[in-house]
Amino acid sequence: MRLSLAVRATLLVSLVLASLANGGTAMARRALPNPVLVFTGQEQFTASGKQMTRYRFTVDNRADYPAEMFAAAPDLPPCGANTKASRTWVDLYDQTGKRLNGFCALGSPNDLSQIWFAIESDSVPPSWVYVELSDRKTNTKYKSNLAETTM
């Protein structure tokens, strides 16, 4: 079946208009990978008179995430009193899904190299943890692998 010139032109115009209505993002947006979480170490510290252990992690593929994901997003709901919270919030969970810590104001993908959670030093840490990046603008979540809490 051969389409007439008028039908082909109409289809082309419709395609261009659909792309513009999307802001061109449907064609330009690339799929982002899930974070690759890696344990980097632990440190002892004291807080409010309690001995604590901080477990530090990095997202190994943080360079794969665009900077705009971590820009201030005053048009989105605040994080407590912080009205300039970032577009993407980052939460650490244990292997059962219990939230351990969260970050709502990371300023760049590079800040994913310094995420952590802390527990009292005499507590047993979870064996495995994962991180979830929640892009509040696109309503997309990126869940990492399970990472050990020891080296």
| pTM as predicted | 0.79
- In this prediction, residue 151 carries a pLDDT of 79
Q: Are 92 and 114 in contact (CB under 8 A)?
A: no
- In this prediction, residue 1 carries a pLDDT of 52
Fold of 31-148: Immunoglobulin-like (2.60.40)
Q: Which residue has the tokens 């869940």?
A: 143
- For 82-117, write each residue's pLDDT tens digit: 988 999 999 999 999 999 999 999 999 999 999 999
Q: Which two tokens stand for residue 35?
A: 């974070």
- For 112-138, write each residue's pLDDT tens digit: 999 999 999 999 999 999 999 999 999
Q: Which residue has the tokens 């792309």?
A: 19
Taking the C-alpha atoms of residue 44 and residue 119, their distance in angstroms, rounded to an integer, is 10
